[in-house]
Amino acid sequence: MKIELVGVNEDIYPLVHEMTHSLLGYGDNFQSDHGYVTQEGFASYMEDQYGKNKLYFEKYMKHYLDSDKLIPISKLIDPNQDDVYFRPELPNQKENQILMEMSYTHAASFVTYLIDTYGLEKFEQIYNEKELAKKIEEVYGENSSELEKDWLAFIQNQQGFTHEEKFKSGNFYDMNTILLQIDPKYFEKE
């Protein structure tokens, strides 16, 4: 039997990410019925903290914010809409990949903000919860849109990518070109 990690051919080794899923669980018996935000967000957070590659979530979020290409958190935590973002099925494969990467980045940055601002103990109370919007308000005392506003204010004050960093990334400009082609409906607030 051969086990192969996604991304290894691109010199990306998401071992910490995938081990986080294995150790902490994912939904109810590894199904997506508990949504994706906390599971993928925390696994990406762990990869950024302890993995091989630095993932630059805040720099990407700053770029999305400045480009007016934000996915509302309400859509990412809505169990009726989250599959569209985390497991997209757009006709264009490159757009699929970018929308999925954006969803992971949004989740990771939001989770990082929650952990850094309010502590891991509070985050543990919302991890892998089925009714996430309700649980967020219960644990944090604010609804997800209020927390999102605070998080985006934090992102607004972050340093974006330098020209050199964009060039070194190897795919920033290709990603940005595809990003501009994605239907704006995915970024509309409700």
Q: Is residue 2 part of a domain?
A: no
How many C-beta atoms lie closer than 10 Å to residue 141's C-beta?
A: 11
Q: Is residue 141 part of a domain?
A: yes
Q: Read off the pLDDT of residues 88-118 as tens digits, 9 standing for 90 and up.
A: 898 889 999 999 999 999 999 999 999 999 9
Q: Is residue 1 part of a domain?
A: no
Q: Is residue 3 part of a domain?
A: no
pTM comes to 0.88
Instruction: Round to whole Å and give the CA distance between 49 and 135.
Output: 25
Segments in 57-157 forming alpha helices (H) = 57-66, 73-77, 82-86, 93-118, 120-126, 132-140, 144-156
**Tokens in use for 177?**
């070109």
Residue with tokens 């204010």: 153
Q: Is residue 133 part of a domain?
A: yes
Q: Is residue 32 part of a domain?
A: yes
Q: Is residue 51 part of a domain?
A: yes
Q: Read off the pLDDT of residues 130-178 as tens digits, 9 standing for 90 and up.
A: 899 999 999 999 999 999 999 999 999 999 999 999 988 778 999 999 9
Residue 66 belongs to domain spanning: 8-187
Q: Is residue 171 part of a domain?
A: yes
Name all contacts of 136-142 with Cβ < 8 Å and 24+ positions apart: 136/77, 140/114
Instruction: Round to whole Å and give the CA distance between 97 and 149.
Output: 26
Would you say residue 5 has pLDDT above 70?
no
- Please tell me the total count of domains within the chain: 1
